[in-house]
Amino acid sequence: MSEKRRDKKGRLLRTGESQRSDDGRYIFKYKDANGKHRYLYSNRLEKTDKVPPGGIRKPALRELEAELQAKINAGIKAFGGDLTVYELVEKYVSMKIGVRESTRQGYKTVLRILAKEPFGKLRIDKVKISDAKVWLIKLQQEDGRGYSSIHTIRGVLRPAFQMAVEDDLLAKNPFSFELHTVVVNNSTTRDAITRKQEKAFLEFVKNDKHFSKYYEGFFILFNTGLRISEFCGLTMSDIDFNKKCIHVTGQLVRYSNMITTFEPPKTSAGVRDVPMSPEVMEAFRNIMDNRKYLKVEPIIDGKAGFLYLDKNDQPMVAMHWQHYFNHVVKKYNGICKLQLPNITAHVCRHTFCSKMAKSGMNPKTLQYIMGHSDISVTMNTYTHFTGEDAQEEFQKLFGGEEESVQRQKRVW
């Protein structure tokens, strides 16, 4: 009868357990579901053992064995099926069929990042919550990525790891934490500009020899609340002068691979008829009157007759307009004493929404015009109100000081 193995302290070792003679480390050898030999290592056998001098406190071998057995009992595959983080995300993305091109491009971006990162090569069963947090912090503090970019990355990793949990590859999701508790939200708020700033911007564009040809486009963005991709996607047939409205049916988007597509709006609420003021109608007429005649119109996904064309006679996209906004503001600030803040097409949208809110438009009506699926998004526009706006509203309700005093006397 063979003698049972013992460690250096004389304790009996279980089947699969052993202790190295050189450094005293404990080893547990077993076979996984595929018959492949696997090993667990620790510098302690029992939880109560002291950490050897110079050693690092890690779970004892029998703690690791118990954890392994718990996973086996729960049907969880040890070692996460040998998947790396990159491979897990790749598998998750491959199952996302029927998504928009913008979403697919976002998936590709996340995969490119993981392909370059050591984090992407980690086995998924080795990723702890602290590892996930440290990596996201690294993306912000060392790589300089913005909060919105990290939010997008984590927005892919979180459901990918949740898929691994549901497939019994992991016991828990290491990306289940709230992002704002880990990285700093350094996103710049795109607030509305004042009416004085809007007027200064538009007057400057109107009188500038180079940028005046885009005046009507800027004016429409400030006075309709259209998203820039929706504006770029408008064709001449979408402008209904009889009903005095703009038929918004989709958006024109150009991706990093230079492919331009006409896609549905961001949400179903994006399909709408936006009313036009007389000034907006005049702006659209001017655009059409001055538009270059083409024998062959560019057609994108069945749409033709786009309002603005670039130098190659292709529909202008958001990128073009952002360049114009940047150049106008830079030129204006280099000439005028009153400096303008950074202005984007989205600032125009915020500005329009704020103007309508301040004018007393019904929030539900404004929600429809803006194409918001959730009214809370529309209501957040009221955060652009100032103390002067509050004072003006108060005066509308209660009138002047003397009238207010007389009213209170009558009440008492």
6 is catalytic: no
Q: Sheet containing 26-31: which strands, arranged edge to edge? A: 17-19, 26-31, 37-42
Question: Catalytic: 382?
Answer: yes
Q: CA–CA separation, 376 vs 371, rounded Å?
A: 12
Closest by Cα among 299, 317, 319 to 308 = 317
Which candidate, 183, 139, 133, places its Cα nearest to that of 158? Answer: 133
Question: Is 147 known to be catalytic?
Answer: no
- Please pick, among 266, 291, 331, 368, the residue that the annotation labels catalytic: 266
Q: Which of 172, 210, 382, 407 is catalytic?
A: 382
- Sequence-ordered list of residues with C-beta below 8 angstroms from that of 88, at least 6 positions apart, any chain: 80, 124, 160, 161, 163, 164
Residue 268: CB partners within 8 Å, gap ≥ 6? 373
Active site residue 180: no
Helices (H) and strands (E) in the chain, counts: 15, 8
Q: Which of 154, 349, 350, 355 is catalytic?
A: 349
CB neighbourhood size of 233 (10 A): 27
Active-site residue identified among 138, 255, 346, 368 = 346
9 is known as an active-site residue: no
Task: Quote the radius of gyration of the chain (alpha carbons, Å).
Answer: 31
Tell me which residue of 332, 356, 357, 352 sits closest to 342, measured CA to CA. 332
H-helix segments, 339-400? 345-358, 363-370, 375-379, 387-398
Instruction: Please report how the helices 195-207 and 215-224 are oriented relative to each other, as an axis angle in degrees rounded to 10.
Output: 160
Cβ-contact 139, 150 below 8 angstroms: yes
Q: Is there a catalytic annotation at residue 227? A: yes
What span, in angstroms and rounded, lies between the C-alpha atoms of 384 and 394?
17
Active-site residue among 154, 227, 254, 358?
Answer: 227
Distance separating alpha carbons of residues 379 and 28, to the nearest angstrom: 60
Task: Point out the residues that are catalytic.
Answer: 227, 266, 346, 349, 372, 382
